[in-house]
Each structure stands twice: as structure tokens, then as C-alpha cells.
Amino acid sequence: MQSSNYTDVEQQEPRSQNKERQDDEEDFKKMAHYHEMAQVHRLTRKVYFQCLLLMVLIGVLLLVFAVHAPYKHVAPLANDLMSIVGVSIFLVLSFFAFTCGGENAQTKLVLIILISIFLGLSTGFFVAMNVSITSKHSNTYKYYNDPT
């Protein structure tokens, strides 16, 4: 004899067990979502600290650049630009990075983007400056030592 609680031969489980199975699936989805968010949080934290490390290295390079002024005679405008503008932007970004960076994920992402842009621009400026000075120096050396 079949009772009225069962609707099909394949569904021989009471309705309460079926509800528990659905709850277990929802719990599994929530747990998977939580682990995914935890991985994103760890990645954001790692990238943020890598950006801070690179920021410190660029700061040391800017400090050396500002104190020694290696391009003062060759390219005074570029030297002043990097010494004044580069150091001031570095100080503002450093202040925000070390004071506001640990609050929430949105602030960290904005700071990661801003620090990455600053690192790219400052590194590109240093490389372009060295290449242009090296090419000017190698061309003048070549022309002055030409035996013909």
C-alpha cells in the first residue's frame, strides 16, 4: 500500500529529506562562494603588499635621485621634474597607502591601481631618461673620436 506522502516510485523519500538535501546544496554553494571570496581577498592582500614593496624601492630610488641629482647638468628640466613632482606624488601616495590601505577591499583596489600607475610612469621615466642620456653620450663619443 502506498501512502499519499509519496508521489512517484522514484521519489520514495519523504519530503523532509528532500528539503534537507536542498539545504545541503545551498550550504555547499555558500561555502564554495566563501572560499572563492577568501582566495580573492588573499590575492588582493598579496598584490597590495607587493605594490608597497615596489613603492618603497621607488622611494629609495627617488631619494637617491633627489639628493645626488645625476642629470642636473645634462637634463635639468627632467631632473627638476622628477625631483619635485615625483617626490611629491610619491609622498602623497605613500601617505594614503600606509594609512588607508588596510581598511577595506575597495580602498586597497583603488590604491593598487594608483600605485601601479605611479610605478609604471616613474619606472618608464627613469628608463627613458637613462636611454636618452646614454644615446646622447654614445653619439657624442662616436663623433668626437672619429678618425676621419
pLDDT in tens, 1-49: 455 555 555 555 555 666 777 777 888 888 888 888 888 888 888 888 8
Domain boundaries, the chain: 16-135
Whether 18 contacts 11, CB under 8 Å: yes
Mark 104-139 as b/e (b = at least 16 C-beta within 10 Å).
eeeebeebbebbeebbeebeeebeebeeeeeeeeee
d(CA 118, CA 37): 28
pLDDT in tens, 38-90: 888 888 888 888 888 988 888 888 888 878 877 777 777 878 888 888 888 88
pTM given for the model: 0.64
Sheet strands (E) in the chain: none
Name the percent of the chain lying above pLDDT 90.
1
pLDDT at 4: 54
